[in-house]
């Protein structure tokens, strides 16, 4: 009971104190006997003018009591509006978050559906390839069995005495063909090839970073200019060309240049921005490819040491893009040309590369750049 009375007394006292602080009744300062018509924000109490000048509150933040009362009343009036505004903002934020969650859920369902379709396609393709390989294995095994039977028969006939051969019947009388090589004993490697699997594999590889590639300035033809960052080749008209210092690695006739990265392992990709160029070549070549003269030995794509995709006057077997990507996978000995935007495979080459390959380029119009 005492604690309740004390609490009630405290509440009444606090309420009375606040009413005294902000009441408009005129009271006198006990120290200066002046009207308490100022309010000290530091000590949260009413003071007189002398307290602000010579009293204990001369260095505090003080305001006229009327202004203080007006400010408190305005704050009390605007407080509900602030609460409503914040509530509206909260509701709006919750709505946006709910919408974002809904969009994320829809996107997730879309991704799951797409992945499911891809998974089903991959499983079907895998089953088809496995069945094709199994049929090919069975065919080769049957051919091997037949070949063993024939070999055994030839061995028997070869080691049988002539008298027994003369009286024997059946295959011995008809004779046996001479043994010879046959393609029936070779496994058809194309039975394991699949454009779908190759495209999906390339798309997965292309999600990774591209190679840190630049042009090798030692190889740049005098018909081309190289940017300071070593990433852009520009074709030069004859009147603006200069004679660079001699270098055995430089192409002296064809407008070619090679990259700095020699590839003999791993998987690497790079993207070329063709801009407005109407004539160019991109691909790879052996480091031993010829560099001098106007013959085919130093002409990209016209010898057995280079593999390129070229464009001239819009002559493409596919719609020409603004950029072109190359993917070289050394373990599978595969070179792929692809569209960087859609990751669609434009052309692919499988070859038993016998040495390190260098990115190769030729420009006969405008400029091309390596994108990083």
Lowest pLDDT segment from 231-235, 253-257, 350-354? 350-354
Residue pair 33/26 in contact by the 8 Å Cβ criterion: no
Delimiting residues of CATH 2.60.120.920 domain(s) in the chain:
208-371
pLDDT value at residue 229: 93
Measured in degrees and rounded to the nearest 5, phi and psi for residue 37 equal -105, 20
Q: 333-341: list long-range contacts, CB under 8 Å, 24+ apart.
A: 334/198, 335/283, 335/284, 335/307, 336/198, 336/202, 337/282, 337/309, 338/202, 338/206, 340/206, 340/271
Q: Which residues of the chain does CATH 3.30.160 include? A: 14-60
Residue 241 near residue 298, CB atoms below 8 Å: no
Q: Which pLDDT band holds residue 35 (cuts at 50, 70, 90)?
A: confident
For residue 244, pLDDT over 80 is answered with yes
CATH code given to domain 14-60: 3.30.160
| CA 40/CA 62 separation, integer angstroms | 4
- CATH number assigned to the domain with residue range 208-371, chosen from the 4 options 3.90.190.20, 2.40.30.10, 2.102.10.10, 2.60.120.920: 2.60.120.920
**Over 80: is that where the pLDDT of 49 sits?**
no
The reply to whether the predicted model has a pTM over 0.75 is no
Residue 167, pLDDT above cutoff 80:
no
Distance CA 104, CA 92 (A): 18
Q: What is the pLDDT of residue 166?
A: 58
DSSP structural state of residue 365: S
User: Distance between CA atoms of 360 and 298, rounded to whole angstroms?
Assistant: 11
pLDDT at residue 317 in the model = 35
Q: What pLDDT sits at residue 343?
A: 72
| Closest among 38, 43, 42 to 66, alpha carbons compared | 38
Q: Supply the pLDDT for residue 311.
A: 77
Q: Which of 22, 29, 27, 20 is nearest to 67 (CA)?
A: 22
Instruction: Please write the tens of the pLDDT for every residue from 88-124.
Output: 888 888 888 888 888 888 888 877 877 777 788 778 8
More confident call, 10 vs 32: 32
């Amino acid at each position: 009971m005492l604690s309740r009375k004390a609490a009630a007394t405290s509440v009444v006292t606090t309420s009375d104190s606040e009413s005294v602080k902000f009441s408009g009744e005129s009271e006198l300062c006990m120290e200066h006997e002046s009207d308490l018509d100022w309010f000290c924000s530091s000590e949260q109490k009413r003071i007189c003018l002398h307290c602000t000048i010579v009293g204990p509150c001369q260095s505090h933040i003080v305001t006229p009591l009327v202004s203080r009362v007006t400010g408190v009343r305005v704050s009390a009036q605007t407080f509900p509006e602030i609460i409503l505004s914040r509530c509206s903002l909260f509701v709006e934020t919750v709505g946006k978050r709910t919408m974002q969650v809904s969009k994320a859920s829809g996107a997730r369902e879309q991704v799951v559906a797409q992945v499911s379709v891809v998974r089903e396609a991959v499983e079907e393709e895998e089953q088809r390839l496995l069945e094709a390989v199994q049929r090919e294995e069975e065919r080769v095994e049957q051919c091997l069995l037949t070949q063993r039977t024939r070999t055994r028969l030839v061995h028997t006939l070869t080691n049988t005495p002539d008298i027994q051969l003369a009286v024997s019947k059946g295959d011995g009388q008809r004779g046996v063909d001479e043994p010879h090589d046959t393609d029936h004993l070779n496994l058809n490697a194309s039975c394991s090839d699949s454009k779908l699997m190759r495209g999906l594999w390339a798309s997965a590889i292309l999600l990774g970073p591209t190679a840190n590639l630049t042009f090798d300035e030692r190889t740049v033809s005098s018909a081309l200019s190289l940017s300071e960052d070593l990433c852009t080749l520009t074709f030069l008209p004859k009147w603006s060309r200069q004679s660079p210092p001699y270098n055995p690695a430089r192409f002296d006739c064809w407008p070619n240049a090679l990259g700095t990265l020699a590839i003999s392992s791993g998987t690497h990709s790079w993207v070329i921005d063709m801009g407005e160029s109407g004539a160019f070549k991109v691909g790879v070549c052996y480091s031993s490819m010829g560099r001098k003269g106007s013959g085919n030995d130093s002409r990209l794509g016209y010898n057995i040491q280079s593999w390129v995709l070229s464009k001239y006057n819009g002559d493409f077997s596919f719609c020409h893009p603004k950029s072109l990507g190359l993917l070289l996978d050394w373990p599978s000995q595969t070179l792929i040309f692809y569209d960087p935007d859609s990751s669609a495979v434009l052309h692919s080459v499988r070859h038993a590369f016998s040495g390190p390959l260098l990115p190769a380029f030729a420009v006969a119009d405008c400029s091309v750049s390596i994108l990083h």
